Amino acid sequence: MSKNDMWGGRFSGGPAEIMEKINASIGFDKALYKQDIRGSLAHSDMLAAQGVISVGDRDAIHAGLKEIEKEIEAGTFDFKTELEDIHMNVESRLREKIGDPGARLHTGRSRNDQVITDVRLWLRDALDGIDALMADLQRALLDKAEMYADTLMPGYTHLQSAQPVTFGHHLMAYVEMVARDRGRMADCRKRLNECPLGAAALAGTSFPIDRHQTAAALGFDGPTRNSMDSVGSRDFILEFLAAGSIHAIHLSRLAEEIVMWMSDRFAFISLSDAFTTGSSIMPQKKNPDAAELVRAKPGRLLGAFISVSTMMKGLPMTFCKDMQEDKEPLFDAVESLTLAVAATAGMVDDLKARPDRMQDGLKQGFPTATDLADWLVRVLGLPFRDAHHVTGALVAKAEARQVDLADLTLEEMQAVENRITDDIYSVLTPAASVASRTSFGGTAPVRVREAVKAARADYL
């Protein structure tokens, strides 16, 4: 069957070579073959149930489609660029195999509603797979947070030493980020789970189809409500790309910290050879390449979002060929995000903390200064701003002597504030600081363990 036969009698001449190349999508949309065949099985079932085609035709269609699926999976299917896309390639082969019944399959539908149904089915499957990987990441983070609930490390603001925290508490921050990301993905899945099949080209069809039957057969919550919106909208793709970009940004933040923690200057953690590589020239190097690649992935997701949103901006209703450009960025974004989540979960599961180096980090930057100020407020009744000023003067004194706050003598402290007693030393250790942070959501080990338990119940 020639391409002109597929198009019908409107065209007498063939397309220019460049037109054929720019118009064809089979090079990438063949990834939708499972969804395309699944949709056709449901559609032909419905047509037979409604008496639009015979049961015999339906059975022949089903048998032919299942054979075609096996051919594609075996690698023997001949994808033809001149047939443009997965839909016409499958339909053409179906007609070769079963004859006239294959030509009746397209009754009551268009490639416009067919392709968007395929993409919704494909993305729904992808979302389910990504959510499972995100749950694995949360599980790895929770396991490590529980393991290191008591492990002290510096907490930073502006990448400057701020206050002592626990490594477990730090990791729990990412558990919460991933939880919100999973929520955004779940919202996306819920909104995309409506079936466009039967909207046809843009106006519906005069055949007595049952869109509720096909929607139920394909696992959708129901059919889309407006035929023009059904084929003319791609906001569910944009919603995924936006949510995926946010998650990729969160992954890149953790990846950056892994890179930083592995550096010689910090050396807070180690990763095994499974997630690191060497240098071609420097034999001593152990590079966190997996983390660096995860750190780069948001560029692909954000680029895909910009690409598809720019494509959709200003398009008139309903279907325009521009929309063919949604698939390559979508497919790439799903692959990139899937790799990034899996790699991050693997690194978290693999990493080992180095508490000795974390303790070394706590000897820099006066991380218990806030605890000193709090003591002045709590015990001496100073207004916090006054306590802040006194603490700043004591920090300057310790800095001048190149010692920690706990190494200042009582006399040196009383020279700044004469009411200070030796009880002040009870709050100047990182362990005491961390143990005191018992407010809900705080870094105290008891709160970290409670947070781990709650997160296991709420998120997994």
Q: Which residues are catalytic, by number?
A: 158, 279
How far, in Å, CA of 130 to CA of 120, rounded? 15
Amino acid (1-letter code) at residue 449: R
- The values of phi and psi at residue 163, to 5°, are -145, 155
How far, in Å, CA of 373 to CA of 204, rounded? 71
Q: Evaluate whether 353 touches 165 at the Cβ level (below 8 Å).
A: no
How far, in Å, CA of 401 to CA of 215, rounded? 75
Place of tokens 């709590």: 378
| Burial degree of 291 (CB within 10 A; 0-12, 13-18, 19+) | buried
